[in-house]
């Protein structure tokens, strides 16, 4: 239990100490809010869909969480290369606790990052009922946990950062762009796209968060939460398994 | 004397490459034991198996009567280790690195602070306790790692090339600490090094490994007598030959890394 706590704390300390990372990872969400939010807004309104910024924010918040979470998980590679992982692996602590501690820490950091994006988006004019906040945090935490576990699972099988670009381009980017974070999924969406979206776990995160924050949904919150929790459990189990198999 | 480490017929294969080939040796309790060998001889692989990081392909290891495979946590509590490469978290302070270790090894809360202070003073890094480790020099990091490895009162202290890349002053300092520890606290020290004069000066027992086999064991004096050499370095060269191994080892390492990157850590 103490081991989980100290590993969690370590992730938080690392996050708060690397200001450049914190600020750096806010650049992208801000760009999306500014360029897409304001740029696409008039077109979206003309199409009779209402306020695009309101629609976009849950997607961009999810994006912030996704990137931070995957990155936190992938940090295991750094620890492998810089040797710190060995220190934790020879300690009389189960691999499961190590994995849980790190993953919870990474997920907490990702939720914090999501909260910062949410607050920033209010400066751009985003509004949501404050009573929705607790449920929104639950959604955000699930997204964060899911993708931190996925990142950890990936990092467990990769030896160095050369594979990171591969993950970004062939996993993280498609996860984001095909999640419906930027466009609505409805009856007019091409079938192929709709089908792919149904297999993207982030789509359920974005949809759930959107339902909670602005009351717009495609899958419905119960399905969103069911899929999210199921996939999260799956990835945590997978991540724990692969992490326990690391040999250095 | 009852050995604290006994290794019988230990073998490790990576695919079709045999890194450690049926080695047997024992380390007496309380002594300083040097594990020597050229690059790629199997030293680090052996240490990884002794310290529960790698599973042997064959053979048995007993550490304080326990097996690193079946009794992992008991064995892990028994030893402290300084790895060949640095293993501190650069983004944490020196004190936080120590505290992290104390929590992982369940050092009781009330003992944590005094013990950390005692050890950090012992290796002369206490005045820098609140600095981030990334601001430390190589020698300071090494000293901090030594302090960290001792935090949970281990009975065995593994040091994998502890003085690599350090200046003579720091090296002397570090050996002085280690000899003091062995004498005063009765800790068994197991170390590897490429500096033969250090091994000759410090070690009570030596084992030389080459191409995955143990080719000689004994006190430094015994090895020198056996090979009619004036120093342990000459004895080492006469036993292992003058051929340079670096290239072979590093290309194998690179290959192993590449394979692991695609097929998972094996």
Supply the pLDDT for residue B246.
56
Confidence of residue A169 (pLDDT cuts 50, 70, 90): confident
User: H helices within chain A, ranges in order?
Assistant: 2-17, 19-31, 39-46, 52-81, 84-89, 95-123, 133-157, 164-167, 173-177, 191-198, 201-214, 221-244
Which of these ranges, A28-37, A42-51, A136-145, has the smallest mean pLDDT?
Answer: A42-51
Supply the pLDDT for residue B247.
45
B238 CA: distance to closest CA in chain A (Å): 33
B258/A86 CB distance under 8 A:
no
Residues B47-81 have pLDDT tens digits of 999 999 999 999 999 999 999 999 999 999 999 99
Contacts of A93 in chain B (CB under 8 A): 104
CA B26 remoteness from chain centre: 15
B111 CA: distance to closest CA in chain A (Å): 16
Q: How far apart are CA B44 and CA B209, in angstroms?
A: 11
Contacts of B87 in chain A (CB under 8 A): 82-87
Contacts of A20 in chain B (CB under 8 A): none
3-state secondary structure of A220: coil
Supply the pLDDT for residue B249.
47
Supply the pLDDT for residue A22.
82
Name the residue range of residue A73's domain.
2-244
Nearest chain A residue (CA) to B78: A92
Supply the pLDDT for residue B166.
84
Supply the pLDDT for residue B185.
85
Contacts of B261 in chain A (CB under 8 A): 158-160, 162-163
B86/A83 CB distance under 8 A:
yes
Supply the pLDDT for residue B266.
37
User: What's the pTM?
Assistant: 0.88
Residues B34-55 have pLDDT tens digits of 999 988 889 989 999 999 999 9
CB of B254 within 8 Å of any CB in chain A? no
Supply the pLDDT for residue A168.
85
B76/A91 CB distance under 8 A:
yes
Quick one: average pLDDT of B239-266?
A: 57
Tokens read off for B222: 């015994």
* Least CB–CB distance from A163: residue in B53, B88, B261: B261
CB of B135 within 8 Å of any CB in chain A? no
B104/A245 CB distance under 8 A:
no
A248/B53 CB distance under 8 A:
yes
CB of A91 within 8 Å of any CB in chain B? yes
pLDDT at B262 over 80: no
CB distance B96 to B130 below 8 Å: no
Q: What percent of chain B is predicted at pLDDT more than 90?
A: 70
Supply the pLDDT for residue A58.
96
CB of B256 within 8 Å of any CB in chain A? no
Supply the pLDDT for residue A237.
94
CB of A13 within 8 Å of any CB in chain B? yes
Q: Chain A window 150-189: which residues touch B at a Cβ cutoff of 8 Å?
A: 156-160, 162-163
Confidence of residue A4 (pLDDT cuts 50, 70, 90): very high
Quick one: average pLDDT of B160-173?
A: 87
Residues B227-242 have pLDDT tens digits of 999 999 999 999 988 7
Confidence of residue B254 (pLDDT cuts 50, 70, 90): low
Asked whether this complex has an ipTM greater than 0.85, the answer is yes
Contacts of B85 in chain A (CB under 8 A): 83
Quick one: average pLDDT of A65-89?
A: 91
* Least CB–CB distance from A90: residue in B51, B99, B257: B51
Supply the pLDDT for residue B260.
52
Count up the domains in chain A and report the number. 1
Supply the pLDDT for residue B265.
39
Supply the pLDDT for residue A87.
93
pLDDT at B264 over 50: no
Confidence of residue B253 (pLDDT cuts 50, 70, 90): low
Size of interface A-B (CB pairs under 8 A): 89
Residues A117-166 have pLDDT tens digits of 999 999 999 999 999 999 999 999 999 999 999 999 999 988 877 888 88
Specify the higher pLDDT residue, A209 or B166.
A209
A87 CA: distance to closest CA in chain B (Å): 6
A91/B104 CB distance under 8 A:
yes
Q: Chain B window 24-63: which residues touch A at a Cβ cutoff of 8 Å?
A: 48, 51-55
Backbone angles phi, psi at B190, to 5 degrees: -120, 115
On average, the pLDDT of chain A sits at 92
3-state per-residue secondary structure call for chain B: CCEEEEEEEEEEEECCEEEEEEEEEEEECCCEEEEECCCCCCHHHHHHHHCCCCCCCEEEEEECCECCCCCHHHHHHHEEEECCCCCCCCCCEHHHHHHHHHHHCCCCHHHHHHHHHHHHHHCCCHHHCCCEHHHCCHHHHHHHHHHHHHCCCCCEEEEECCCCCCCHHHHHHHHHHHHHHHHHHCCEEEEECCCHHHHHHHCCEEEEEECCEEEEEECHHHHHHHCCCCCHHHHHHHHHCCCCCHHHHHHHHHHHHHHHHHHCCC
Specify the higher pLDDT residue, A20 or A136.
A136
3-state per-residue secondary structure call for A133-167: HHHHHHHHHHHHHHHHHHHHHHHHHCCCHHHHHHH
Quick one: average pLDDT of B234-263?
A: 64
* Least CB–CB distance from B92: residue in A5, A10, A242: A10
Supply the pLDDT for residue B86.
87
């Amino acid at each position: 239990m103490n081991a989980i706590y100290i590993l969690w704390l370590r992730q938080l300390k690392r996050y708060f100490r690397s200001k450049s990372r914190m600020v750096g990872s806010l650049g992208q969400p801000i760009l999306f809010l500014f360029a897409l939010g304001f740029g696409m807004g008039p077109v979206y309104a003309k199409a009779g869909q209402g306020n695009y910024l309101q629609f976009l924010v849950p997607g961009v918040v999810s994006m912030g969480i996704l990137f931070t979470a995957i990155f936190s998980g992938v940090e295991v590679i750094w620890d492998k290369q810089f040797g710190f992982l060995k220190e934790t692996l020879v300690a009389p602590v189960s691999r499961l606790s190590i994995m849980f501690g790190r993953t919870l820490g990474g997920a907490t950091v990702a939720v914090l990052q999501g909260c910062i994006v949410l607050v920033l988006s209010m400066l751009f004019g985003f509004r949501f009922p404050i009573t929705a906040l607790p449920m929104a945090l639950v959604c955000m935490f699930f997204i964060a946990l899911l993708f931190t576990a996925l990142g950890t699972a990936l990092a467990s099988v990769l030896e160095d950062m050369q594979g990171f670009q591969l993950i970004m381009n062939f996993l993280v980017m498609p996860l984001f762009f095909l999640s419906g974070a930027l466009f609505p999924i409805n009856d007019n969406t091409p079938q192929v796209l709709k089908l792919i979206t149904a297999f993207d776990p982030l789509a359920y995160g974005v949809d759930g968060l959107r339902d909670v924050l602005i009351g717009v949904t495609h899958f419905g919150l119960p399905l969103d939460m069911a899929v999210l929790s199921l996939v999260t459990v799956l990835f945590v189990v997978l991540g724990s398994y692969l992490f326990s198999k690391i040999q250095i | 004397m009852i050995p604290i480490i006994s290794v019988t017929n230990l073998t490790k294969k990576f695919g079709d490459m045999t890194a450690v080939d049926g080695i047997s040796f024992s380390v007496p309790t309380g002594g300083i034991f040097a594990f020597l060998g050229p690059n790629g001889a199997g030293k680090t692989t052996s240490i990884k198996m002794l310290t529960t990081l790698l599973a042997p392909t064959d053979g048995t290891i007993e550490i304080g009567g326990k097996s690193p495979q079946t009794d992992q946590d008991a064995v892990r509590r028994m030893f402290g280790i300084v790895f060949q490469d640095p293993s501190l978290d650069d983004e944490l302070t020196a004190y936080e690195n120590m505290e992290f270790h104390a929590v992982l090894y369940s050092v009781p809360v009330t003992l944590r602070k005094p013990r950390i202070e005692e050890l950090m003073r012992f290796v002369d890094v206490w005045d820098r306790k609140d600095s981030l480790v990334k601001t430390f020099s190589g020698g300071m990091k090494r000293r901090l790692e030594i302090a960290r490895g001792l935090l949970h009162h281990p009975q065995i202290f593994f040091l994998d090339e502890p003085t690599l890349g350090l200046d003579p002053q720091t090296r002397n300092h570090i050996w002085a600490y280690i000899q003091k520890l062995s004498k005063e606290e009765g800790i068994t020290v197991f170390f590897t090094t490429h500096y033969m004069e250090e091994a000759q000066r410090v070690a009570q027992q030596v084992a030389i490994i080459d191409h995955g086999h143990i080719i000689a064991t004994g006190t430094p004096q015994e090895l020198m007598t056996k090979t009619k050499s004036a120093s342990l370095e000459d004895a080492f060269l006469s036993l292992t030959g003058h051929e340079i191994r670096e290239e072979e080892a590093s290309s194998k390492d690179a290959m192993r890394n590449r394979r692991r990157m695609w097929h998972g850590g094996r």
